[in-house]
Chains A and B, each alone.
Chain A
Amino acid sequence: MIGTPVLETPVVERRIRWASLLIVAGLLVQLASLLVIHPLAFVAFLMLGCPLVGIGIISYLLALVSSDSQGH
């Protein structure tokens, strides 16, 4: 509608949101893997949980760096 202000979430905040979701997903996989003692649980932790948390952390850090370079 014309004249209605649209409150868009800044790009940096959207990136932080995505980073947090990735980290939460990774942590949940890691927590679930700790509930059973089995080699597959170890592989799930290492091959799924850790990469999700790692990508989330890197996304968060990149969001910080990009927002800094844009002068936020």
Chain B
Amino acid sequence: MPVSVILMLGMSAALIALFVGFRVHVTRSREGKILAFVALFALPVMAAWAGFSEHMDRAESTKFCLSCHIMTDFGRSLYIDDPSYIPAAHFQNNRVRRDQACYTCHTNYTMFGTVTAKMHGLRHLWVQYIGTVPKPEAIKLYDAYNNRECLHCHLGARNFEQGSAHSKAPDRLSLIKSNKLSCISSGCHEFVHDVASLKDDTFWKEKP
């Protein structure tokens, strides 16, 4: 639903609720009771749900993730001009949606993956505004990166299933699929954000 529609819905709900609040005697009539029910129950529930849905969509956006200052370097790392950097290569070549780049790779593709990500987000906010903010290079994942997040897109793809590096050893593919051999382990796709060395990198300049 477009934001303008949600804002209109919310404003209408607020205005009608305000009317009922200041002209509360209208609720003495049958029509007034119906108006009160719409103004104080139906419309607020609809507006709140639409707003919640919009906020959930926004929380998946790259802009949302990078809106905290500490994430700036991680955002810059998406523009490193080196295809061996996995996030940069995915971002620059549209292998992930650019407006959802962080969420696509950093949400767990499990039943409660989104909820877990939101809970982590609340903790990040706490650290950002109440706690001690670490240096960007000191930020680590909660758990080792799970291949499941890569396989969400790559599983079944020809260049994954038949790629020479993946089928070099007979059991390599099964080790990758069972998460026993990490995709980002040493010697494979090991360059990820690497924000500590950003000052030495060159950056891709996207044409406007």
Binding site for B on A (CB under 8 A): 9, 13-14, 16-17, 19-21, 23-24, 26-28, 30-31, 33-34, 37-43, 45-46, 49-50, 53, 56-57, 60-61
Contacts and interface: CB of A to CB of B under 8 A. Distances in A.
A42 B67 CA distance: 12
A33 B51 contact: yes
B14 A28 contact: yes
Contact of A38 (B18, B44, B67, B124): B67
B21 interface: yes
Contact of A37 (B13, B27, B52, B64): B64
Given A30-B47, A39-B64, A45 B40 contact: no
Nearest to B54: A34
Interface size class of B (residues with CB under 8 A): 35 or more
A33 B21 CA distance: 23
Given A38-B64, A38-B67, A39-B68, A20 B18 contact: yes
Nearest to B19: A20
Interface string B54-67: 11001101011001
